[in-house]
Chains A and B, each alone.
Chain A
Amino acid sequence: MTTRRKFVVTRFDPDKDEVPKTQEYEIECQDDWKVLDAINFIKDEVDSTISHRWSCRMAVCGSCGMMVDGEPKLTCKTALDSYGDTVEIEPLANFPVVKDLVVELEGFMGKFQQVKPWIMNAKEEAEKKAASTMKEGTYRQSAEELMAFKQFSMCINCMLCYSACPVVSNEPDFLGPAAIALGHRYNMDTRDGGQDERNQIFREEGTVFSCSYANECSEVCPKGVDPAAAVNQAKFNAVIDWATGLVVSRPAPQGDE
């Protein structure tokens, strides 16, 4: 079975266009298609000049995020039959547009680096734990310890949360949901010893306390990660860490390992 649908696609050619415009395509769509299938059909059979990103087609790579009828969606996971006869496809909101449906990623990648998303001071932590438990060898992590942060590890960096966030839209310096969730994920990891450093970052301007808890990031996440929970847990942790620092002296951070 097929259904004829109209796609209103945002087009922008940086060499020709001052501002983005729209172009309409009418195609026969199979009823089991995802939105990405339709865009790929248009690209392959109707207009090869359209630019869009995609790769895995199984909601793992996070490349094909676009606005579908005004909402950020992972197009390979979004069934076409849940939309009407006319479907509007735009590049991800809140991002500068490079061409057609392709957005600029550099700003996003820069925000990730700021939260130091890697295990820090692991050796010291392992030695501390070994000394306290009188065990040597592999650093072990219990299932309970893993479950405390596992969901925040499921992020595929699709950027839908940035596209949905009203704070990202208005505060360019805001670290944003995915980056903070990733930083929080490492703070929750029992192998990591960089909590002091990251909590210091989280107390700076444009980080966790800029979040107004609209909860949109968690609503649009295609992987069931809850970035809003991570950001607000990070708020608690940053405050507790600050309060603890008032009464307990800590050694200065020794840098990354």
Chain B
Amino acid sequence: MPATKAAHPEAMAPAVNGPTRTAPPMQPSSWKTSPRMKQYSRFGLTGWIYLLASFAAIYIVYGLGSGPEAYAQVQALLANPLVIAFHLLCLISVGFVLVRFFGLFPKAQPARIGPAKPPPQPVLKAMLYGLWAGATLVLSVILAGGIF
């Protein structure tokens, strides 16, 4: 018997139990090894990274509002290699989630909203990547202008 985890005991249970005793539902044993489910789990795990990043953002905002000395401390912390590594991890996570989102978003569009119809899926996907590239470019220009 492959190692499987039990599903919720009431999963797909009938509203009224029949006369026959049933064995409880099990989860698919392939979930632990399936590349698709691993991707899905990683997608879910990125939520923890965003939670940590949100704490960091609150700390930065708090530093901004607490005077020049506090903000200098924040800047010193941001220069820490560990914090830079964490931000790199955030960037990779965001990229991973965006690629997954851009792959799944086009087919989730309704066939029409009132009289308006969405563009074909490849066009929509290209628009999303274009928007991403455009936003990255604009942000880079703003940051470059702020830094230099």
Contacts and interface: CB of A to CB of B under 8 A. Distances in A.
Interface string A9-40: 01010100101111000000000000000000
A232 B108 contact: yes
Interface of A: 8, 10, 12, 14, 17, 19-22, 67, 69-72, 88, 90, 93-99, 103-104, 106-108, 110, 148-149, 162-164, 166, 168-172, 188, 212-216, 219, 226, 228-229, 232-233, 235-237, 240
A97 B34 CA distance: 24
A75 to B, nearest CB: 15
Contacts, number: 141
B104 A94 contact: no
A166 B40 contact: yes
Contacts of A219: 36
Given A12-B23, A19-B23, A213-B104, A71 B28 contact: yes
Contact of B12 (A10, A90, A162): A162
B85 interface: no
Contacts of B15: 106-107, 110
A166 B40 CA distance: 10
Interchain residue pairs A-B with the least CB separation, the first 6: A106-B14, A70-B30, A232-B108, A96-B22, A172-B10, A70-B29
B142 interface: no
B1 A20 contact: yes
B99 interface: no
B90 to A, nearest CB: 21
Given A14-B22, A106-B18, A236-B110, A169 B11 contact: yes
Contacts of B20: 14, 98-99
Contacts of A8: 1
B44 to A, nearest CB: 8
Given A14-B20, A162-B12, A93 B26 contact: yes
A96 B12 contact: yes
B113 to A, nearest CB: 6
B1 A94 contact: no
B5 to A, nearest CB: 9
Contacts of A232: 104, 107-108
